[in-house]
Structure 1
Amino acid sequence: MKSTYIRKIKYAAAPLAIGLGLISVPSFAQEAADAAEEDGAAIVVTGSRISVNGLTSPSPLQTLSEGSIEQSGVVNLQELLLENPAFGTPGISRTNSNFSTASAGAATVDLRNLGSARTLVLVNGRRFVAGVPGSSSVDLNTIPTQFIDRVDILTGGASAVYGSDAVAGVVNIIYKTDFEGIEAGGQVGIAEEGDDLRRQADLTFGGSFSDGRGKFMTHLGYSKEGAVFSRDREISAIDQFFTRDPDNFFKIRQPFFSSFAPQGRFFNAPGVSVGTFDANNKFILGFSTNGDATRPADGFNRSAFRTIAIPTERYLLATNASYDVSDDIEVFFEGTYAKTKTKTELEPFPLDSADVFKATGGFFNIENRQLDADGKPTGAIVVNPFVPAQLLALLKDNNGDGLRDVAFTRRLSDVALRGNRANRDTFRILGGARGGLFGDWKWDAFYSYGETSESQVSSGQFNVVNLRNALNVKRDAAGKLVCADLDAQEDGCVPVNIFGRNTISADALRFIDAPGFLSTITTQKLAGVNAYGTLGNLFGAGDIGLAVGAEYRDEFSLSEFDALQQAGLNGGNAIPRTVGSFDVYELYGEVNVPLLSETFIHSLSLTGAGRISDYSTVGKTYSYNGGVDFSPVEDIRLTAIWARSTRAPNINELFSPPSQNFPTGLIDPCEGVTAATAGKLGEVCRSFAGVNANIAQNGKFTLNQADLQGISGFDRGNPLLGEEKGDSFTARLIINPRSIDALRNFGFTASYYNIRVKDAIVSTPRQFILDQCFKQGEQSFCDFIKRRAAPEGSNSAGSLDEIDSAVTNSGGLKAEGLDFTATYTQEVFSGRLNLSLSYTHLLDGFVIPLPGSDKDFFAGEIGAAKDKFFVSANYSINKVDLTLRGTFIGESFLDDQFLAGFEVERNDPRARIPAEFYADAQIRYRAADEFEFFVGVDNLLGNDPTVIPSGLPGNTTGAETDAGTYDAIGRRFYFGTKLRF
C-alpha cells in the first residue's frame, strides 16, 4: 500500500478555496482535516512541523490559492503578494531599482515593514537560495507563478520552527504535485500608454510510471516585461524638485534641470562659473540652469533618459518527482532553474573635473611648458588648442604654477547612457527520502544545493587615468593634435575635446570608454533530518504530537567588480569585493499537547517549540515559542503564541566594504545659520571651514541647486555584529460557524500582533546622524559627515558632500497591529459568489537608531500606511468567471525625521499623501474542459500616483512617486488562453 502521509491536499474540495484571493486558515485547515480523516491521512499546516490529524496553526496565517494567482493575471508572484496588507514596500522591485548598481529588477518581499531580511521565504517548507548577494532575500523572479499550488503567509516570530530570518514571519510557497496530462498557457498585456508590453507562456506536463509507484511533474515558463520610461509619463517627464516650502511640501519647482550639461559648464576660479556653449557650439558667457525670462535653459533634463520599470525577461524550469522504493520508503526530488535578464537605463555620467584632477582641486592646466628633445622645459608656453579664444581670455592661474587652468562640469552624452545589463542564473536541486519508523511515526531526510550567479556589464563609465591624459593636449612638430604625455602616447592616447556638445571623437571615446563588470555568486548548502509522530493520549484529549530534527546550512557569497571599479578609476566609487561565508548547526523540537476535548469545552491544547543554533559567526543562539489553542465551541477558536526569534547577521551586514549611496530627503540643520546664531547648532556648524566661508559670502549659510542634489555617502558592514532578538506575541480569534447551515460558508478571523526586535541590526539613519551632530553636538556622529570646502559649480561652500552610515546592533524595532479576514460564499442566481476581505491596521511601528535615542516612527509614513485592505469578489456561472479585486492604501505622511528639519510635527496635514484605491478586473470563459481564455484590466480606474517630487523622502528617482508602493505605470490590459490535454 502506498504511504498516505504524502497525500496532496486537494483545494478543489474546499468550498471557500475556489476563486478567493485570500483564504482564511480556519476554512482551509478544517476542510483539509476533514479530508484527511476520511482516508487516515495526516497533514502539516505552515507554522508547524508536526503532522497529525486536524492540526491547525496557532499562528496567524493567510493563504493565497492557485485560483487567486490565475485571477490576478500577474507575471511575478511579488505583484500578488504586495496586494496583501501584511506586506510593506519591497526593498527591490522592477519599478524602484533602476539606479541600483547590482540586483536591479529583483523581486523581494517585506512582511510587517520590518525589512526583507526578517521575512523568510520557503519553497515546500524548506529554505531557498538567496537571489540578492550577501543577503537571505529570495528573488521571486525565480519562482514559476503557474507552478504554484498555494502560498501560505505566516506572520509572527517563527524562528523556533524554521530558523533564522523568520522574525516578521514566513512566506511558504507550495509547488504543485500529482499532475497528470499537459497544460499550456499564454498571456499578452500592454499599458494604456502603449508600453510595459508583457508576454508569458508556460507548459506543464506530468504523469506516473512503474505502475504508479513513481510520478513526475515538469513546468517550463517564459515571460518578458517591457520597459517604461520616465519621459512617457506626465508626472516624471521633466526634472523637478520640491519647493522646500513647509506650507506646501508637494508643490514642485519645474524644471529643475541638472547643471551638468552635455555642452559643458566652465569655471575660472573655485565656484566661479564663466560660461558654456550654445547649440552651435559657440562659447557664450554665463549659465542659466533652468532658464529665465531672457534666456533658455542651459541645464540638462535627466528625466528624458530615466526608467520607471526595468525590462525583465525570465526563463523558468521547475520539476519534481518521487518514487516508492517500498511500501514504507519514498525518495523524492525537486529541481528549479531560472534565468533572469534585466536592463537598467539612466542619464549619461555627470563628469566633474574634480573627479579627474583631485590633486589640483578640479583644475587642469590648459597651458603647458614646451619640452625639448631631452624632455626638459624650454620656457615656451603651449596652449591646449581645443580651448576657444573667448574662454582662454577669461582663465587664470589657480594653483600657483604660473599656467592658466580651467575647471568644468560636463554630461558625458558622447560616451553612452549609464545603465547595466545583468544575467542572473539560479538553480536549486533537492533530493531526499521519507518513510515510516514505527506506529504513526514518520521521518524524512533531505539535502539541497542552491546557487545564484550574476554577470553584469555596465555602460557610461570612463577610465579616469586615460581621460586625464587625453585632456592634456598639444600639437606636435607636424601640427597634429596629440596627448602631451609621451608615455600616454605610447599607450594609444587620443586627445579629448570637452569644449562643446558632441565634441569627443570616436577614437577618443574608444580610448576613454570603460565598461564596468560585476560578477557575483551565492551558494547555499542545506541538509536536514526530521522525525514526527505521537506520544499517546496522555490527558484523554488526543495524542501528543512531537517533532524533532537537525539541520545544517552553509552560506557563501561573493560580489566582485572589475579592477577599475575597485580602484575607483572609472568615474564611480571604489567598491571593493564583498566576500564572506558562515555555517550553522541546528537542533529543534516541537510539541503539541491536547489537554481537553469534547468536555465542557470543545478543545484546549498547548504548543511549544525550541531551537538551538550554533553559527560560525555569532556563536550559539536560542529561539523558542509557546502557544495555546482554545475552542469553547466547535465554531470558535482562540489562539495565542509567544515567541522569541533570532536573526544572525547576513554576509553583507558582516563583511560589506564601503559602498556609495545617494540619499534623498535630507535637511541640512545648518541652513540659515549666521555668524550670530547662538547655541550648540551655531557652534558646531561654524566649526566647519566651508560653512564659515559660505556665511562670509552670503550673510547666512545658503544652499543652491547643486548643493541640494549633490549629497552622497557610504554604507558599511560591521564584522562585530551579534544576533538580533525578536519577541512577538500574536493572538487570534477564529469564527467558522460550520454548525449553522446559513453561516457554514462564512469565515472570520481577527488577529493582534506585537513584534519587538532588540539589538536590531540597523543602519543609522542619515538625518539622525545630522541632527545628533549639529543639534546635540555629538562628535562621534560628526565624524560620519564630510562637507565641501569650495565645490566646483557651486556659489557656496560648506554644503554636505558625504554622510556615511554603518550597521550596528544598537537599534530597536517594533511593529504592532491588527489583522482581519473574512470569507463568504453563496449560491446566487444559479451561480456561486465568493467574497473575501483582508484588512490590516498598523497600530505602531518605529525604529530606535541607538539605545536611549528617540523613536523614529514609520507607522503611517509612505510605504507603511496605517490602514490597508484587499477585497475580492468572484462570481461563477455556467462557463463564465468574473473577478473584481481592490487594493486600498490609506493616507500616509512624509518621514517624521524629514519634517523635523522644517520644525513640522509628524502627521501634519501639510505632509499628507491621500489614500489610494486600485481596482482590477478579469473575465474568464471556459469554452470547454480543455480550453479557456480570459481578459483583464489592472488599475481599472486609471489612478495617477500622487507626485512625490525629488528631494522628498519616499521619492523613487525617475518615477517622481514611491514606485514601490504606488502604481507608477497606469491602466494595463491583458488577455490569455489555457489549454489542457
Structure 2
Amino acid sequence: MAQERASTEDEPTADQAQTLDTIVVTGSRIRREAGFDGPAPMSTIDAAAITASGHTQITDVVNQLPGFAITQTGQTSNQYEVGNPGINALDLRGMGVQRTLTLVDSRRQVPSIPGTSGVDLSMIPSSLVERVEVITGGASALYGADAVNGVANFILKRDFDGLEANIRYGNSSRFDMPSTTADVLFGKNFADNRGNFTLFGFAERTSGEVSGQDRPWTAGGMPLYERANAGDRRVITEGNRNFYNSPNAQVVLGNCNSSNWMNCLYTFDANGQLRRPQLGPGGLVNLNPGALNTGNALLQQGRTDGGEYGAYYDNWMLSVPSDRQTVRSTVNFDFNEHARFFANLTYSQSQTQTRNRELAAYGSGYEESVPYDSPFITQDMIDANGGAFTDNISFARHFDNDFGLRRTDYERKLLQVVTGLEGDFELFSRNWNYSGYVSYGRSEERSRSLNAAALPRFYAGLNSTADANGNAVCNGSWVWSDVLNDWDWAAPMAGCVAINPFAQLTPEMVKWLSYDTDWSKTQMTQKVASAYASGGLFDLPGGEAQLVVGMEYRSESNNVGVSPQFNANHALFDPSLGYTATPLIGEYSVKEAFGEIHLPLISGAPGAERLSLDLAGRVSDYNLSGRTTTTKVGLEWAPIEDLTLRGTYGKAIRAPNIGEMFTAGVVSGAWLYDPCNDYSLANSTGNTQYTAANCAQIAPSDTATYWQWLDVIYSGNTELGPETAKTTTFGAVFRPRFINNLVISADYYKIDLRNVIAGLAPQTILQRCVDLASMDNQFCGLVTRNATGDLVDVSVQQLNLAQSLARGVDINATWFTQLPRGHRLSLDLNLGRNLERIDIADAANPDDVWNNLEIFGTPQWKGSLRTGLSHEKYSVYWTLRGYSKMRASEYATYETYERPWSGSMFYNDIYASYQLTPKVSVSAGMNNMFDRSPPRIPGAEAGGSNFNQGIAGTSSGLYDVIGRTFHLSLNFKL
C-alpha cells in the first residue's frame, strides 16, 4: 500500500516511464519528475488495495495504515452521548480528528462534524476512490490549519469513458449483519475527446443490528481485575454480572453489615412480590466483600456469576443499521493547453440509528430512592426489614423490559460544488502551470430521540406519598435554591405520576417518564477560493529551481440547532426533561498566502546522485485568532542511485475552531463517580501518589456511594489560544538495483504539540483534579462541590493543555515480480512503531505525564502485510494485520497484576476475483477469517479502543467485535 508509485498493479515499463515526465502528489504542488520522492514521507493506497480490502467504508481501509488511530467507525458509532454517531473520521497519530486534514482531489471538503474540520468519509464510497495519499511531514505549511499531524488526500475517479457497475452483498458469518451495495459509474468523452462527463451513483443499506448478547465475547459476564486485600496482586475474574444489571429491583432489607449483606439482599417479581434473588453458582463473587461496607455499596459494586442477572454489554449495540446514498458528477473540458475547465458536484446523504439503555438505577440513594413512608412499601418488605423503615430505600435495576431502549435517529446531507480552471503557460521562457478553484459546500445533520426518559420526572415520581384516599401521588421535595442560598420546598411537577420501581411499570408510569423530541438541525457552510501558480525560476547544478505561490480564502459558518424541547427560548421547551441547550451560530474566515520553492542543488555528482532543498511557508490571517505563520524546510539527498535520505522540519499553527470557542451552554447529566469514594481510592489503577492526600483534604461526607448522577455543563471557551507544533521527520528510501522492483522506506517522526486544545471527559476532569500535586489546577476549577465536600456538577470546556508528544517510526516495503504464464507476485508491508505518546495536562506540573504508549489504542507495533498473486484472468490476495500487546493502564504491571497485557493480536483477510468474460467479473472475500475474538483482558473484551484527547467511544474498534464477515461482488463493464 505505502509506496511512491500510484499502483503496483499497473507498473509502467522502463520505456513507458520515459513518457511520464511529471506528476503532482499530495506532498507538494510542484510537478516532480517520475521517481522523485520528495523530502516528506508519503503513503499511497491504490485502487487494487482498496478493492482487495473488501470494505465499502474507505475509513476502514485507511485505518489499517499504522499511523492512524481508531476513532469513529461502524463499530464505534453507537454512543449518542459522545456525538456524531454514524460518522467515519480519521485521526492521524492518535492526536485528534481536528488535527488531521482531509482533502478530496487535493481540495478542502466541507466538514460534517459540527463546529470542527472533521470530514465524514462515509459520504465517500470506497468504490469511487482511485487512490489515497497520506503525507505526514510539514503538511501544515502546504495546506494550512488542521494539518498539524498530516493530510489524507482522496483522489476520486475521473475521465472515465464507458459504463461500469458493481453489486455487492456482505454479511457476518452469523448472518445477522446483512448489507447490500450497488454503484454505477458512467463516463463519456465528447468534443473529439477534449471533454469528459462522468456520473457516479452509489447506494448501500446495512440492515442488521448486532447487540452485545449476539457475540460470545460480550454476552457473558465481563472480566475484571480484582484483589482480596489491598497489598495483593490483582487477578482476572470472569463471568461478572452486577446486581444492578437486573430487570427486577434489588434492595437491601434488614439489620445486616458487611459480613452478611447477602442475607439482606432481596428482589421482586414483575407484580412487586418480594422474594430472594436467584444468584449465579458462585453467589457473591467479589474477592473483597469487605469493601461493600454499606447496603448501597452492595447494590452498586456487588456481583454474581449468572442467575437472573444480565451481562454488562447486553444492551450495547455493536453494529447499528445505516443507509448511504451518493451521487457525483464531473465535467472536464480542455479549451486549449492554457485553459482546462473542471467542475464537480457531489451530493450524499445517510441515515443511521443508535440504541442505548435509557433508564436504570444503580443503588446510589439520594434522588434514586423510595421514601421510607412510600405507599409502595409492602408488609412483606416491612417484615423482611424487621420493622418500619426510618430511611429512604435505595434500589438498583434497569427498565429495559418495561421501558425499552432509547433510539436516536440521524439524517445527514452533504452538497459540494467545485469549479475552476487550470492550465500551462510560459513565463520568462520557462514552463509554468496554474490552478484555481472556488468551492461551496454545505453539510446538514438532523437528529431526534425516541423513547427517551426524563430523569427529573423519574426522581419526582419516586418521591411518592399517599393522598387522603390512600392513592399513591407525587410528593413535593426540598431543593437547593441558588437565589435563596438555602433549601426551598418545591411542589410536585404538573402531571406527575407516582413511580413504583418494585414492580413492572404501568403504561401510565411509562407515559409519564418517556418523551420524544422533534428534529434538531445543524448546518455547516464552507466557502473556499484558492489559486496557485507553479513553474521554473532559474537553473541550478541539479536542475531547474521551481516556485509555487498561491493565495486562499476560506470562510466557515456553523448553525448548531437543538430540539425545541431542550431550547429554553422555544415555546415547546420542557424543563422537566432535565436537559437545557441553546442554538449556536458561529463563524470565522481566514485569508492565506503561501509559497513553496524547490532547489535541486546537485545532480549526478559523486556522493550526490541527487541533493535538493525544499522550503515552504504560509501566512494566515484569521478574523478571530489573528495572524499565524507556518513554515517547513525539507532536504533530500541521494548519495547513490539506490539510496535516498530525506528529512523535514516544520512549525505548524492550529487556530481554535468554531466548536471549541463558541459551543453554546448545554446542561445535561451523567453517571459519574467521585474518585474520593472508598472503592475508588482502594482499587482505581489510575490513582497517583497525590490522590489520597488530596481526597483527605476535600473530605467528602459521602465516601460510600459510587455512581452519582451529576449535572454536566458544556460551554465554549473564547479565551483559547492557538496550538503550536514542531514537526520533524527524517528517513531513507532504499531501491536496490540488485533486487528488481523492491522499494523499502523507513521514516522517523516527532510531533511536539504545545497549548493543546482539548476537551476532557467529565470523569477525567474529576480524576485529574485530585491526581495532581496541588489542587490549585485548571481541572479543580471545573468541579463544584458543596460545603460538605460532595460533588455537585462538572463543567466541560476546551482548554489549552500543556503538551502532547508523539514519536515513532514508519516502515514500508513493496516488491513484485513477474512469474511464468503472465502471473505476478506482489508484497506490500506497512509497519508502524510508536516510540512515545504522552500528554502533559498541566504546564505548572511537568511531572503530570500521562503515558499512552501501549495503552489500548496506542500499541507499540501496528502493521499489515498484503500478499497477492494476480493474472489477467484472476487474482488472490491475503492480508495479515495485527497489533502488539497493550494494557489498560501504565500502572498495570506484572508485579501488581496477574495478566496486565492483552498479547499480540493478528487478523487474516482473504480476497479473490475471477474474470468470467471480458465484461463480467466476480469477487469474494472474508475478513477475520478465523473469527478471532477480542482478548479477555479488562478493557479489551469489547474492542479495547482508548481514544486520546478526551474523545470517548464504546471501547470498541481496535479489536474486532463483530467477528468473521464475508462479501460477494459482481462487476459489469460496458
TM alignment of 1:185-584, pairs within 5 A:
185-225=166-206, 226-240=208-222, 242-245=224-227, 251-252=236-237, 254-257=239-242, 259=244, 261-264=246-249, 278-284=268-274, 293=283, 301-350=311-360, 388-390=378-380, 411-413=398-400, 414-439=402-427, 440-463=431-454, 493=495, 495-505=497-507, 507-516=508-517, 517-537=519-539, 539-565=540-566, 569=575, 573-584=579-590
Residue of structure 2 in register with 1:761 after alignment: 757
The Cα of 1:719 is off from its aligned counterpart by 1.6
- 2:125 counterpart of 1:144: yes
Residue of structure 2 in register with 1:598 after alignment: 604
The Cα of 1:449 is off from its aligned counterpart by 1.5
2:618 and 2:168 mapped to 1: Cα distance? 45
Residue of structure 2 in register with 1:93 after alignment: 73
2:56 and 2:125 in contact (8 A); partners too: no
Q: For 1:437-492, what per-residue CA distance to the aligned partner results, in whole angstroms no more than 9, with x for missing partners?
A: 4342222221111222111122332346766776788999999988899xx99999
1:57 and 1:47 mapped to 2: Cα distance? 7
Residue of structure 2 in register with 1:937 after alignment: 926
TM alignment of 1:965-976, pairs within 5 A:
965-976=958-969
Alpha carbons of structure 1 residues 654 and 895: separation in structure 2 relative to 1, 3 Å: farther
1:52 and 1:887 mapped to 2: Cα distance? 33
The Cα of 1:883 is off from its aligned counterpart by 0.5
1:468 and 1:671 mapped to 2: Cα distance? 26
1:594 and 1:878 mapped to 2: Cα distance? 41
Q: For 1:876-898, what per-residue CA distance to the aligned partner results, in whole angstroms no more than 9, with x for missing partners?
A: 135121101111211122222x6
The Cα of 1:501 is off from its aligned counterpart by 3.6
Find the partner of 1:75 among 56, 78, 83. Answer: 56
Gaps in structure 2 of 5+ consecutive residues: 285-303, 477-489, 569-573, 683-688, 947-951
The Cα of 1:36 is off from its aligned counterpart by 9.3
1:24 and 1:823 in contact (8 A); partners too: no
1:909 and 1:364 mapped to 2: Cα distance? 41
TM-score by length of 1: 0.82
- 2:110 counterpart of 1:113: no
Q: Which amino acid aligns with 1:628?
A: L
- 2:881 counterpart of 1:887: yes
Residue of structure 2 in register with 1:66 after alignment: 47
Alpha carbons of structure 1 residues 298 and 787: separation in structure 2 relative to 1, 3 Å: farther
2:678 and 2:350 mapped to 1: Cα distance? 46
Residue of structure 2 in register with 1:750 after alignment: 746
2:382 and 2:389 in contact (8 A); partners too: no
Q: For 1:145-167, what per-residue CA distance to the aligned partner results, in whole angstroms no more than 9, with x for missing partners?
A: 11111000111231110001111
Alpha carbons of structure 1 residues 491 and 33: separation in structure 2 relative to 1, 3 Å: farther
Q: Which amino acid aligns with 1:841?
A: R
Residue of structure 1 in register with 2:646 after alignment: 639
Alpha carbons of structure 1 residues 720 and 478: separation in structure 2 relative to 1, 3 Å: closer
Secondary structure of the corresponding residue to residue 718 of structure 1: coil
| Identity rate, percent | 25
1:462 and 1:570 in contact (8 A); partners too: no
The Cα of 1:590 is off from its aligned counterpart by 0.7
Residue of structure 2 in register with 1:13 after alignment: none
Q: For 1:478-529, what per-residue CA distance to the aligned partner results, in whole angstroms no more than 9, with x for missing partners?
A: 99988899xx999994845424443322x55344421235432222111111
Q: For 1:545-594, what per-residue CA distance to the aligned partner results, in whole angstroms no more than 9, with x for missing partners?
A: 11111111112223333244456946555444454221111110111111
Alpha carbons of structure 1 residues 528 and 629: separation in structure 2 relative to 1, 3 Å: same
1:680 and 1:61 mapped to 2: Cα distance? 44
2:470 and 2:23 mapped to 1: Cα distance? 86
Residue of structure 2 in register with 1:623 after alignment: 630
The Cα of 1:845 is off from its aligned counterpart by 1.8
Q: Which amino acid aligns with 2:27?
A: G
1:145 and 1:209 mapped to 2: Cα distance? 27
Secondary structure of the corresponding residue to residue 607 of structure 1: strand
Aligned length, in residue pairs: 900
The Cα of 1:103 is off from its aligned counterpart by 0.9
Residue of structure 2 in register with 1:128 after alignment: 109
1:475 and 1:581 mapped to 2: Cα distance? 55
1:165 and 1:286 mapped to 2: Cα distance? 59
Q: What's the C-alpha RMSD, in Å, of the aligned pairs?
A: 4.1
The Cα of 1:806 is off from its aligned counterpart by 3.8
- 2:722 counterpart of 1:723: yes
Residue of structure 2 in register with 1:380 after alignment: none
2:872 and 2:940 mapped to 1: Cα distance? 54
- 2:774 counterpart of 1:773: no
1:526 and 1:551 in contact (8 A); partners too: yes
Q: For 1:133-186, what per-residue CA distance to the aligned partner results, in whole angstroms no more than 9, with x for missing partners?
A: 112111110112111110001112311100011111111000111111111111
Residue of structure 2 in register with 1:874 after alignment: 868
The Cα of 1:779 is off from its aligned counterpart by 3.7
- Choose 118-127 or 425-434, whichever is displaced more: 425-434
- 2:806 counterpart of 1:827: no
Alpha carbons of structure 1 residues 808 and 204: separation in structure 2 relative to 1, 3 Å: same
Secondary structure of the corresponding residue to residue 142 of structure 2: helix
- Choose 261-270 or 77-86, whichever is displaced more: 261-270
TM-score by length of 2: 0.83
Q: For 1:806-862, what per-residue CA distance to the aligned partner results, in whole angstroms no more than 9, with x for missing partners?
A: 432232121111122111111234311011111111122211112242222222221
The Cα of 1:326 is off from its aligned counterpart by 4.4
Q: Which amino acid aligns with 2:26?
A: T
1:425 and 1:453 in contact (8 A); partners too: yes
1:627 and 1:641 in contact (8 A); partners too: yes
Q: Which amino acid aligns with 2:612?
A: S
1:862 and 1:954 in contact (8 A); partners too: no
Secondary structure of the corresponding residue to residue 776 of structure 1: coil
Alpha carbons of structure 1 residues 387 and 670: separation in structure 2 relative to 1, 3 Å: closer
Q: For 1:105-151, what per-residue CA distance to the aligned partner results, in whole angstroms no more than 9, with x for missing partners?
A: 21111112222211111100011111211121111101121111100
2:908 and 2:211 mapped to 1: Cα distance? 23
2:831 and 2:863 in contact (8 A); partners too: yes
2:469 and 2:512 mapped to 1: Cα distance? 22
Alpha carbons of structure 1 residues 594 and 673: separation in structure 2 relative to 1, 3 Å: closer
1:584 and 1:616 in contact (8 A); partners too: yes
Secondary structure of the corresponding residue to residue 345 of structure 1: strand
1:36 and 1:612 mapped to 2: Cα distance? 41
The Cα of 1:405 is off from its aligned counterpart by 7.2
2:795 and 2:474 mapped to 1: Cα distance? 38
Alpha carbons of structure 1 residues 167 and 196: separation in structure 2 relative to 1, 3 Å: same
Find the partner of 2:853 among 836, 852, 859. Answer: 859
2:671 and 2:26 mapped to 1: Cα distance? 39
Residue of structure 2 in register with 1:587 after alignment: 593
Q: Which amino acid aligns with 2:211?
A: F
The Cα of 1:965 is off from its aligned counterpart by 0.8
2:760 and 2:240 mapped to 1: Cα distance? 33
Gaps in structure 1 of 5+ consecutive residues: 1-20, 368-382, 399-403, 695-701, 791-797
Q: Which amino acid aligns with 2:730?
A: A
The Cα of 1:715 is off from its aligned counterpart by 5.7
2:722 and 2:755 in contact (8 A); partners too: yes
